[in-house]
Amino acid sequence: MQRDTVLIIGANGQIGTALLPLLQDQFGTDNVIASDLQKPDHATGPFEVLDATNPDALTDLVRRHKVTQIYHLAAVLSAKGESDPLWAWDLNMKALLNVLEVSRLQQLRKVFVPSSIAVFGDDALRNNTPQNSVLKPSTVYGISKVAAENWLAYYHKRYGLDVRSLRYPGVISYQSMPGGGTTDYAVAIFHEAIQGHAFDCFLAEDTRLPMIYMDDALRATMELMNAPEDSISVRTSYNLAGMSFTPAELTAAIQRYLPELTVNYKPDFRQAIAESWPMSIDDSVARRDWGWQPGFDLSRMTEEMINQLSVVYQ
Ligand code: AKB
């Protein structure tokens, strides 16, 4: 059997940081190349500084390490993208097309490219949003993810590239902070609460959004990537659900452990983005095709976040 060498692009980000050790367990530390714009202080295995918008640098890295799989996790997220839409589009699309082209030309075995609930917008059902919905996103990030989904399906159909994708909800984790997203409040609130600070929430208290705990997001990613090729019926991107809650419900869940937490609601431009997104997701196609089952609900996620961050801040 062919030995795999895996490249993570965006390894310093929220998902990359947590995914790296799992991939190292599966493939062996020396066979997972982490890459990002900057080298972290403590790399735990091979690391390459990479700007994925540079096609020559990416091709060189893939050839040198004989890479057979790519996890392309680098992207400008929803809120940050709105501050400079053309820059966000340029960066997201250039990096994606470089990844797809190098994967085709170097005949990679598998590629993972995440999508997001940001692909949905006006005209999609907001409750239990189905897999096949109208996709009219409200942000440049969402537009770039809809385009990405179509490019993935194109490379699969035209070139037979085994590209797989999940529409991540807001991902909640303790390992690192997300950056530039609309769902980020649900991570930041834990850090403030643990430190005994009041929290200024940039969404209104009744804004319901789909979220997922990092352990579930990682398990879904690994299960999708390890599923037999013929079980994958969706080559754009799979709907994925974990839990759904509002800022008020999350506050109440945290107050069970930290009753002194106070939250001030100060909705800003991110409120309109959140209101254009689903409140809950129908992920029945992922359940049917590769057996997806979430493990964390709001109360289990909250307990885990408080336990983990108590150690970090002690
Ligand atoms: C964001 O808020 O932009 C991301 C996402 C839902 O893709 N977390």
Query: Is 141 considered catalytic here?
Result: yes
Q: Give whole-number Cα distances, 143 to 76, 93, 158, 249, in Å.
A: 12, 10, 22, 30
Kindly provide the ipTM of the predicted complex, given to two decimals.
Answer: 0.98
Q: What is the DSSP letter of 227?
A: S
Q: Is 212 helix (H, G, I), strand (E, B) or coil?
A: strand
Q: Is 149 helix (H, G, I), strand (E, B) or coil?
A: helix
The pLDDT profile of the chain, 314 residues, written as one tens digit per residue, is: 568 999 999 999 999 999 999 999 999 999 999 999 999 998 999 999 999 999 999 999 999 999 999 999 999 999 999 999 999 999 999 999 999 999 999 999 999 999 999 999 999 999 999 999 999 999 999 999 999 999 999 999 999 999 999 999 999 999 988 889 999 999 999 999 999 999 999 999 999 999 999 999 999 999 999 999 999 999 999 999 999 999 999 999 999 999 999 999 999 999 999 999 999 999 999 999 999 999 999 999 999 999 999 999 98
Give the pLDDT score at 291.
98
Tell me the CA–centroid distance for residue 171 and ligand 1, in Å: 8
- Pocket probe mutation, ligand 1, options 73, 168, 237, max atoms within 8 Å of Cβ: 168
Q: Tokens for 243?
A: 């839990």
Give the pLDDT score at 177.
85
**Distance between CA atoms of 87 and 215, rounded to whole angstroms?**
32
Tell me the CA–centroid distance for residue 145 and ligand 1, in Å: 11
**Distance between CA atoms of 212 and 181, rounded to whole angstroms?**
14
Tell me the CA–centroid distance for residue 162 and ligand 1, in Å: 25
Dihedral of alpha carbons 152, 155, 160, 161, sign: negative
Q: Tokens for 86?
A: 């053309």
Give the pLDDT score at 176.
87
Give the pLDDT score at 2.
63
- Pocket probe mutation, ligand 1, options 171, 177, 202, max atoms within 8 Å of Cβ: 171
Catalytic position from the list 141, 155, 185, 213: 141
